[in-house]
Amino acid sequence: MFSITEPDSIPVVYPRWRDWRIDRREAADAEPLPLVPHATSFCAMCWGQGRIWQPARNGEGLIPQRCSYCDGQRVSLHPPADAM
């Protein structure tokens, strides 16, 4: 028997390597979970970052400003064009 410890997980004991391979194959074949709901549309202005880099008032580089289109929420609050 051997123990496998994966990042952010507890140690798991497998009696044979084949059992571990079967477990890994099932995890790899599983459909990934969506990170966001399908109906979500990210802001096209800031690309979902919630901020836009704009010139500083003193002219020394760029500073992050809240996106004026999505108001920093990172998702578009306006309906998509094809929904109208």
The pLDDT tens digits for 2-34 are 677 777 778 888 888 888 888 888 877 888 777
Beta carbons of 11 and 5 less than 8 angstroms apart: yes
CA distance 49 to 45: 9
pLDDT of residue 14: 83
The answer to whether residues 19 and 3 touch, using CB atoms and an 8 Å cutoff, is no
Residue 61 Cα to chain centre, angstroms = 28
Task: State how far the Cα of 69 lies from the Cα of 43, in Å rounded to an integer.
Answer: 7
Q: Hey, where are the domains in the chain? A: 1-33, 34-84
Name residue, tokens 């051997």.
2
Quote the pTM value: 0.41
